[in-house]
């Protein structure tokens, strides 16, 4: 488990959890061969949604921790003169960077994280479905939990929809502290600076910093988020954008139940006030919704969000719409504790893959193309990517142990092969196919006005929990997503079906053309997810049989010695 104890309510300590963040130390770190995707087969891409926690979930709230500082977490500074070469260079000390760095270093490899401010605050508000974090054993990093969520489609009697799925907010300072402490315990070093570029040759990579310093390593991981400083693209990157302006505020009062998270509020009554005709017209063409987290009767997080648009809705317009909405709701803000300006690229092409630079998180295109959520997806993928890196770094290490050669790639072709294997673990064909469908979903959402958006989500939240949970949590396989799409069409109203046909059919055809490349030869000489799983299972069975045989031999050894001794004694006599 990532955390062993804490202040989380006992109702959450239920069910089995995947051990995503536990790394067992090994006696010989350079011979720690791992099956590339052993962790991901179970935790990273299972079919369907995570199981909902057993039993009732109570409303829970505590204040967040203070942000970690140099005084509370002691990070080891990297000395370039003493160590100009490391096994893994990580660009970026965000959640993706430190999660992967700590896991790789715990397996015995040298890891250096480059970031201008390793202790900088993580700015984004992380809202998650409780079952996602519970499945990863991360519920101790939550500071607020709502037993249910709610969606307002409109102000009519049937416009209020309750979602029987607990929602939660991440305690960002605590999660950062825990991940940094893991890095410190594993020996990760930190190099303050800004990456400016990267070059490769003769089996190694060299990362250049903006101030002219350089560091070399066997592999490089880009975890710089949406700035994507090191990964390369071979096609134009043209995403949609989710824009949001939010405030953490102290208010006189608010009309929301504190045990219910407001996931979406598509009502537009606030635009009907005199003088707001322009806002009303703009909102009908390019709608935004309210996302609200009530912590108490006087403390609440409020955010006006554009689900997806191209180009992005500007922050001044989002702020203006939020102000009008709060006035209509009768919410008077006493104090703004924190402001959030959020702009998330959604969809678009993936980075060129494979390539020599590896990636995780936003830099790897892991944002959900239809929702903008990523933190759970990234944390679930981090062990998979880290274990693939460990497995590939072990290749030259094993060779060195056996033949006395260097503990690093001996040629550029070997380094390219290592990077290709990691990219295969990062974006297996099944995930690429899944993302194509989710991007198709984004393209449909881009075309919907306010009234069509309401009809879409009326049908969406009428689906089975298996389908809407799985869609939002990127848990459905491509065949399951096809069934999801057909189920959505059947649940939709006649008007919504017409819209889906007009908007969706061209997108489906385009998606299928794009997916043709995944049918054969996408990753040369690489096996599928199913083949890798079968190989892992076969290896486990063989290991179990070997262990059983060795145990049997060991058990019979004393008897053989006893018989030999008796025989010797008889001969002597």
What is the full DSSP assignment across 244-267?
EEEEEEEES--SS-TTEEEEEE--
* Mean pLDDT estimate for the chain: 87
Residue 119: predicted pLDDT = 97
Q: What is the pLDDT of residues 120-153, one digit of tens each?
A: 999 989 999 999 999 999 999 999 999 999 999 9
Does pLDDT of 55 surpass 80?
Answer: no
Nearest one of 311, 299, 395, 343 to 64, comparing CA atoms: 299
Least confident among 31-35, 407-411, 526-530: 31-35
* Tokens representing residue 211 in the block: 């101030």
Residue 303: predicted pLDDT = 98
Nearest one of 363, 346, 313 to 240, comparing CA atoms: 346
Residue 519: predicted pLDDT = 78
Which positions ≥6 away from 500 have C-beta within 8 Å?
Answer: 444, 456, 488, 489, 492
Residue 510: predicted pLDDT = 82
* Tokens representing residue 90 in the block: 């990580």
Which positions ≥6 away from 378 have C-beta within 8 Å?
Answer: 95, 96, 99, 360, 361, 362, 366
Q: What is the pLDDT of residues 20-41, one digit of tens each?
A: 444 333 333 333 333 333 333 3
Give the residue, 530 or 245, on which the prediction is more confident.
245
Could you say which DSSP state residue 529 is in?
Answer: H
Q: What is the pLDDT of residues 76-87, one digit of tens each?
A: 999 999 999 999
Could you say which DSSP state residue 45 is in?
Answer: S
pLDDT band with cut points at 50, 70 and 90 for residue 531: low
* Tokens representing residue 240 in the block: 């949609």
Rounded-to-integer distance, Cα 165 and Cα 358, Å = 35
């Amino acid at each position: 488990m990532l955390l062993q104890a804490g202040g989380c309510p006992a109702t959450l300590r239920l069910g089995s959890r995947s051990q995503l963040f536990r790394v067992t130390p090994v006696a010989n770190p350079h011979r720690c061969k791992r099956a590339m995707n052993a962790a991901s087969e179970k935790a990273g891409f299972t079919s369907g949604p995570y199981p909902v926690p057993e039993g009732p979930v109570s409303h829970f709230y505590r204040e967040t921790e203070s942000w970690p500082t140099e005084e509370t977490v002691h990070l080891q500074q990297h000395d370039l003169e003493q160590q100009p070469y490391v096994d893994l260079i990580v660009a970026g000390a965000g959640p993706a960077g430190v999660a992967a760095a700590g896991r790789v270093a715990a397996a015995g490899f040298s890891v250096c994280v480059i970031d201008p401010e390793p202790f900088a605050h993580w700015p984004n508000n992380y809202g998650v479905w409780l079952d996602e974090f519970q499945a990863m054993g991360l519920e101790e990093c939550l500071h607020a939990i709502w037993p249910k969520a709610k969606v307002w489609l409109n102000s009519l009697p049937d416009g209020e929809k309750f979602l029987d799925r607990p929602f939660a907010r991440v305690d960002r300072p605590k999660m950062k502290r825990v991940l940094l402490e893991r890095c410190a315990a594993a020996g990760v070093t930190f190099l303050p600076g800004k990456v400016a570029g990267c070059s490769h040759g003769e089996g190694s990579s060299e990362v250049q910093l903006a101030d002219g310093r350089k560091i070399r390593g066997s592999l490089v991981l880009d975890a710089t988020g949406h700035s994507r400083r090191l990964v390369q693209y071979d096609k134009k990157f043209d995403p949609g954008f989710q824009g949001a302006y939010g405030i953490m505020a102290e208010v006189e009062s608010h009309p929301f139940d504190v045990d219910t998270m407001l996931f979406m509020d598509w009502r537009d009554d606030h635009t009907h006030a005199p003088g707001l005709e322009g806002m009303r017209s703009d909102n009908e063409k390019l709608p935004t919704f309210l996302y609200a987290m009530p912590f108490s009767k006087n403390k609440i997080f409020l955010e006006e969000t554009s689900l997806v648009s191209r180009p992005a809705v500007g922050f001044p317009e989002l702020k203006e719409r939020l102000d009008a909405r709060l006035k209509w709701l009768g919410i008077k803000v006493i104090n703004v504790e924190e402001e959030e300006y959020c702009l998330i690229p959604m969809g678009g092409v993936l980075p060129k893959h494979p390539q020599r630079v590896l990636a995780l998180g936003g830099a790897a295109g892991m944002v959900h193309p239809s929702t903008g959520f990523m933190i759970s997806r990234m944390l679930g993928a981090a062990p998979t990517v880290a274990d693939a890196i460990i497995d590939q770094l072990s290749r030259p290490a094993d060779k060195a142990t056996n033949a006395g050669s260097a503990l690093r790639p001996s040629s550029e072709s070997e380094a390219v092969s290592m990077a290709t294997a990691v990219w295969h673990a990062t974006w297996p064909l099944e995930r690429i196919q899944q993302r194509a469908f989710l991007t198709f979903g984004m393209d449909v959402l881009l075309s919907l006005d306010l009234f069509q958006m309401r009809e879409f989500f009326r049908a969406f939240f009428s689906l089975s929990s298996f389908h809407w949970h799985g869609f939002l949590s990127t848990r459905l396989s491509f065949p399951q997503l096809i069934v999801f799409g057909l189920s959505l069409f059947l649940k939709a109203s006649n008007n919504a079906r017409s819209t889906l046909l007009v908007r969706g059919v061209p997108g489906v055809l385009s998606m299928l053309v794009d997916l043709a490349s995944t049918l054969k030869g996408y990753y040369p000489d690489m096996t599928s997810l199913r083949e890798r799983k079968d190989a892992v299972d076969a290896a486990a069975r063989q290991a179990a049989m070997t262990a059983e045989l060795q145990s049997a031999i060991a058990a019979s050894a004393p008897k053989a010695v006893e018989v030999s001794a008796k025989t010797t004694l008889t001969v002597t006599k």
